[in-house]
């Protein structure tokens, strides 16, 4: 899942029918996902819902685990005007690669972006360990899973 997260952070969706775009997690409305509203995201009853499911009715279909009062209500009132004017079409959603001018994915642009981010490259550290190669092949996957969980 970490690879998926690293991939999606360099692109954004153009929502057309909304069936392939996750409402909260994907970037489709502006430059960040709607998780930028953590007080709403944390109390949303369904987090992995698509745009089509949310905007299927006359008003947004978002069930909450708690009442929207105080800062939660303010955040909802800020978000609501941004999503009420969305018109869904009968075309497939599109993914736009933000690192390449034509919007198409390229391995080179993704590789360059990963090199220039602040993500620590654990692979370099692990493979520099002085041990026989057959030991490294056994240790590296174990250490990666341990580091990813940490």
- 125 with 107, same domain: the answer is no
- 68 with 139, same domain: the answer is no
- pLDDT tens-place string over residues 44-96: 998 889 999 999 888 898 999 999 999 999 999 999 998 888 888 899 999 99
Q: What confidence score (pLDDT) does residue 108 get?
A: 86
Please give the Cα distance from 12 to 29 (Å, whole number).
9
**DSSP β-ladder status, 11-14 and 94-97:** antiparallel
Listed in order, strand segments (DSSP E) in the chain are 11-14, 94-97
Mean per-residue pLDDT of the chain:
82
Angle at 73 between CA 71 and CA 77, to 5 degrees: 115
For range 20-49, the mean pLDDT: 90
Report yes or no on whether pTM surpasses 0.85. Answer: no
Q: How many domains does the chain have?
A: 2
Domain that holds residue 50: 2-113
Taking 80 as the threshold, does the pLDDT of residue 134 lie above it? no
- 66 with 126, same domain: the answer is no
């Amino acid at each position: 899942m970490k690879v998926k997260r690293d991939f999606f952070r360099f692109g954004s969706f153009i929502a057309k029918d909304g069936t392939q775009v996750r409402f909260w997690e994907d970037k489709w409305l502006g430059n960040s996902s709607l998780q930028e509203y953590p007080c709403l995201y944390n109390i949303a009853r369904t987090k992995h819902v698509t745009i089509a499911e949310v905007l299927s009715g006359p008003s947004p279909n978002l069930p909450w685990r708690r009442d929207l009062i105080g800062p939660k209500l303010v955040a909802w009132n800020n978000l609501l005007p941004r999503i009420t004017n969305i018109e869904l079409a009968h075309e497939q959603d599109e993914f736009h690669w933000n690192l390449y001018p034509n919007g198409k994915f390229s391995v080179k642009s993704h590789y360059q972006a990963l090199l220039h981010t602040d993500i620590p490259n654990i692979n370099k550290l692990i493979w520099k360990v002085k041990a026989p190669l057959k030991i490294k092949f056994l240790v590296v996957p174990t250490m990666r899973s341990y580091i990813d969980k940490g």
